[in-house]
Structure 1
Amino acid sequence: MTQPFTSYDVLLLWHAFLTTFYLSLCGGALAIAGGTGMGLICFSRARLFAPLRLVVGGGCTVVRRIPFIIVLYLVFYVSGMSGLDISAVTVSILAIGLIGSTYITEIVQGGLRAVGADKIEVARTMNMGSAAILRHVILPQSLPLIVPPMLGYLVLFIKDTALASQIGVIELNQAGIILTNRGLPTFHVFFTILILYFVISFPLTVMIQKMEKKLVIS
Structure 2
Amino acid sequence: MSLREFGLHEVFFLLMAARWTVLLALVTFVGGGLLGLVIAALRVSPTAILRHVASGYIGFMQSTPILIQLFMVYYGSSFIGLRPDPWPAAAITFCLNAGAFFGEIFRGSIESVPKGQWEASKALGLRYLATLRLVIIPQAMRLSLPPTVGFMVQIVKTTSVASLIGLVELSRTGTMINTVTFQPVLVFGTVAAIYFALCWPLSLLGQHLERRLIGGRERRVAL
TM-score by shorter chain over 0.5:
yes
Q: 2:142 aligns with which of 120, 141, 144?
A: 144
- The percentage of counterpart residues that share the same residue type is 27
| Deviation for aligned residue 1:52 | 3.7
TM-score, normalising length from structure 1?
A: 0.83
Check if 1:62 corresponds to 2:63.
no
Q: 1:155 aligns with which of 146, 150, 153?
A: 153
Q: Which residue of 1 aligns with 2:25?
A: 24
Q: 1:5 aligns with which of 3, 7, 28?
A: 7
Check if 1:167 corresponds to 2:169.
no
Q: Distance in 1 between matches of 2:31 and 2:141?
A: 19
Contact 2:87–2:167, Cα closer than 8 Å, also in 1 = yes
| Deviation for aligned residue 1:141 | 3.5
| Deviation for aligned residue 1:121 | 2.1
- Residues 110-149 of structure 1: matches in 2 within 5 Å? 110-131=108-129, 133-135=131-133, 137-149=135-147
Q: Distance in 1 between matches of 2:109 and 2:122?
A: 20
Q: Distance in 1 between matches of 2:197 and 2:8?
A: 21
Unaligned runs of 5+ in 1: none
Q: Which residue of 2 aligns with 1:105?
A: 103
Relative to structure 1, the CA distance from residue 213 to residue 18 in structure 2 (aligned partners, 3 Å threshold; closer, same or farther) is: same
| Deviation for aligned residue 1:24 | 1.0
Contact 1:143–1:215, Cα closer than 8 Å, also in 2 = no
- Residues 62-101 of structure 1: matches in 2 within 5 Å? 62-85=60-83, 87-101=85-99
Unaligned runs of 5+ in 2: 218-223
Relative to structure 1, the CA distance from residue 132 to residue 166 in structure 2 (aligned partners, 3 Å threshold; closer, same or farther) is: closer
Contact 1:155–1:205, Cα closer than 8 Å, also in 2 = yes
TM-score, normalising length from structure 2?
A: 0.82
| Deviation for aligned residue 1:35 | 0.8
